[in-house]
Amino acid sequence: MFRCPQCKLGLARQQSECGVFWTCPTCSGHAVTMPVLRKAVTADYVNRLWATVRKGHGVRGRACPVCGKAMTETSANPDGPGPQLDVCQHCFVVWFDPNEYDDLPAIPKPEEKQLPAKAREALAMAEVERIAAEARGGDFGRETPDEPWKLIPAMFGLPVEQDVNPLQRLPWATWLLSALVCAVSFWSFTDQKWFVQQFGLLPSDPWRDGGITFLTSFLLHGGWVHLLGNIYFLLIFGDNVEDYLGRWRFLLLLLMATFAGDLAHLATDARSDLPLIGASGGISGVIVFYALKFPRARLGFLVLFRWIHFPAYFALILWGLLQFVGVANQLAGMSNVSALAHLGGAAIGFAAWLLWKNK
């Protein structure tokens, strides 16, 4: 149960036209998530508020009503007028004391035209049916992403970010690396067998050509599905990790995770002549760092045409379990996917989080 940081009492769940928020029945303070706030308050104000938090302006304040960690008390105008709000960087929650919300610049509502009586009656009946449906099944599956394009990867079983952390800089390293991987993979598809034999990592001869295949194998993929899946995960998770670490630490994380994943794969059968290709090992390190650094970031999954949402830390647990199942299949010779390379990269992601979590 969420608790009021002032009164330490449980918060009551409320529904508004913009989404769900939580209210303290004693002091009338309320907690609102960033995505809901963006639907009610101008984007410029919300972006400036989040930017001040990310830049370290403000002081550590009360405990977050959701995760219990210290929130940052700050303002969208650090040197000017405006309410001092408590913002949690971990779960994207903003806490409002009484009357603070009223001082924010609200998004202007479009002027409503007077509808005929029958139209108003139909809208009223639709609202009654909506409320009845929520009473029967809650809001499970109702909260769809704001961006329509996210339906496409979701239909293929891929996760989508529901609460996106605003970026402080453009993720050039993530974009350029993704473009490089796509360009090299497209080129290799013209004669895939030759490219894989020449530039894939051979466990039986890992140091051929001076060990350059540790890097070139990262750029090659076994097909369109393999390539698009890896690029998707690199783009949606890599931008936030690069934004937090900076491009050079981000690239170092990818490099070390790739190398560790390759070594983990070599440990399974050092005499194999089957080449290893793909960026999965390095991207696994990025995924683990993302989930540990932003554990409350929500990921949406489309299951049987209904949306379900997991915090990133829970999705990481599920992903880890799947990797251990994959390792068992790999060692039994039932799979060509190197789950051990994924776990090797994941270990580097965990180590990087321990090293840089308080950067």
DSSP 211-227: GTHHHHHHH--SSHHHH
* Residue range 196-250, pLDDT digits in tens: 999 999 888 888 888 899 999 999 998 999 999 999 999 999 999 999 999 999 9
Q: Which residue has the higher pLDDT, 234 or 301?
A: 234
Q: 267 is written with which tokens?
A: 């440990």
Structure tokens that stand for 332 in this block:
């039994």
Q: How many helices (H) and strands (E) does the chain have?
A: 12, 10
CA atoms within a 13 Å half-sphere pointing along the CA-CB vector of 346 = 18
Model confidence at 146: pLDDT above 70:
no
Q: Is 307 helix (H, G, I), strand (E, B) or coil?
A: strand
Query: Which residues are bridge partners to 298 per DSSP?
Result: 311
Torsion of CA 228, 231, 236, 241, to 10 degrees: 160
318's tokens:
């599920």
Residue 177 main-chain phi, psi, to 5 deg? -65, -40
* The pLDDT of residue 111 is above 60: no
Beta bridge partners of 276: 201
Which band of pLDDT confidence, cut at 50, 70 and 90, is reported for residue 57? confident
Which amino acid is located at 250 in the chain? F
Cα separation, 135 vs 133, whole angstroms: 5
Q: Which has the closest alpha carbon to 227: 283, 303, 288?
A: 283
Distance CA 88, CA 64 (A): 6
Task: Note whether 84 and 74 are within 8 A (CB).
Answer: yes
pLDDT, residue 14, reads 81
The residue written with tokens 């783009």 in the block is 235
Mean pLDDT for 18-39 is: 82
| pLDDT higher than threshold 50 for residue 140 | no
Asked if pLDDT for residue 162 goes beyond 70, the answer is yes
Put simply, whether the predicted model's pTM sits higher than 0.75 gets the answer no
Report d(CA 20, CA 14) in Å as an integer.
6
**Residue 305 pLDDT > 90, yes or no?**
no
Does residue 134 have a pLDDT over 80?
no
**pLDDT, average across residues 156-181:** 86
Across the chain, mean pLDDT equals: 83
Name beta bridge partners: 311: 298
> How confident is the model over 290-311, as a mean pLDDT?
86
Long-range contacts of 176-180 (CB under 8 A, 24+ apart): 177/234, 177/238, 177/251, 177/254, 178/231, 178/234, 178/235, 178/238, 180/219
- Where helices occur in 61-150 by DSSP H, the ranges are 117-137
The CATH number of 148-356 is: 1.20.1540.10
Is residue 76 pLDDT above 80, yes or no? no
Residue 81 tokens, joined: 């007028």
Q: Where are the domains of the chain?
A: 12-103, 148-356
